Structure 1
Amino acid sequence: MSSRTDKNVSMRTPLANVRRLGAAHGGTSDFFRQRLTAVAMALLMIPVAVIVIMLVGRDQASAQALLGSPVVAILLTLFIIAGCVHMKIGVQVVIEDYVHSEAAKISAILANNFFSFAVGLASIYAIFKLSVGS
């Protein structure tokens, strides 16, 4: 009889290996953050829809006055932040699942992070410009 002294052999089941954090050691936090941003966007959807309906038929000056109010600016900023984070996580999951080349995967994730940040920053900048004036 030969005894196995190989240190790579584990007596743990596959379920025990991934029970806490998952195979990637980060999927649980992404899953939770994506659900949290989805709830935030669902709650903010009604006020944002009301703001959009209030903009129908307004001229530029009155639309700027409405979008420049602090409450509207805060609501839109929160909606944009939640949307951009939700978008970033969702696209990153698709990239991780379907892009198999490691170099392409890293490049796509970096581009996704940059794009999400740029969209969020440009949108928040526009809201800030409207709220403080030009």
Structure 2
Amino acid sequence: MNAQSKPHVSVMRSQLSRARGLGAGGSGVTHWWVERMTAIALVPLSGWFVLQIFRLAGAEHAKVVEWGGKPVNATLLIALLVLTFHHMQLGLEVIIDDYVHGKAHLPVRLLMKGATFALGLFAVIAVLRLMLAATRQNNAA
């Protein structure tokens, strides 16, 4: 037999061995855990926020500003906002990875991350301004 007629096997690996080299290499697990941990942390924070909204329903603006100016409430609000926007970003990242392909993938992902960061930043600034308004209101009284 000549060299051309012999079957040539370039790699002697099983299908399972080849498949093990594919995938996220562990980074997908981290993403999954962070998404789950933010979801778990959002449960009590969201419950707290809903209770506060019911408690403040019909209250005057000054009462709401006073409530928002308290350090514990402002801290919990900022935690709620940061975790909400981070959780949203993680979920949208998965959707983009699944449905956007080719040259559009990176720009769409960067646009989503930038928009999520900007919206989260605006929300946190709003809480900080609420604290500032409460301080002014307390100093005027």
TM-score bracket for this pair, using the shorter chain length: 0.7 to 0.9
1:29 partner letter: T
Residue-by-residue CA offset, 1:49-108 (whole Å, 9 max, x unaligned): 11111221011111111111111111111111111111001001001101122x211111
Aligned residues: 126
Cα distance in 1 for residues equivalent to 2:76 and 2:51: 11
Cα distance in 2 for residues equivalent to 1:82 and 1:74: 12
Q: What is the percentage of aligned positions where both structures have the same residue?
A: 27
- Structure 1: gaps of 5 or more residues: none
Which residue does 1:11 correspond to in 2? Answer: 13
Bigger share in helix: 2
- Structure 2: gaps of 5 or more residues: 1-5, 137-141
Which residue does 1:117 correspond to in 2? Answer: 117
Q: Rg bigger for which structure?
A: 2
Residue-by-residue CA offset, 1:14-71 (whole Å, 9 max, x unaligned): 44224xxxx1342111111100000010121211111111221011111111111111
Runs of 4+ in structure 1 displaced over 3 angstroms? 1-4
Cα distance in 2 for residues equivalent to 1:24 and 1:98: 17
TM-score normalised by length of structure 2:
0.80
Which residue does 1:92 correspond to in 2? Answer: 93
TM-score normalised by length of structure 1:
0.84
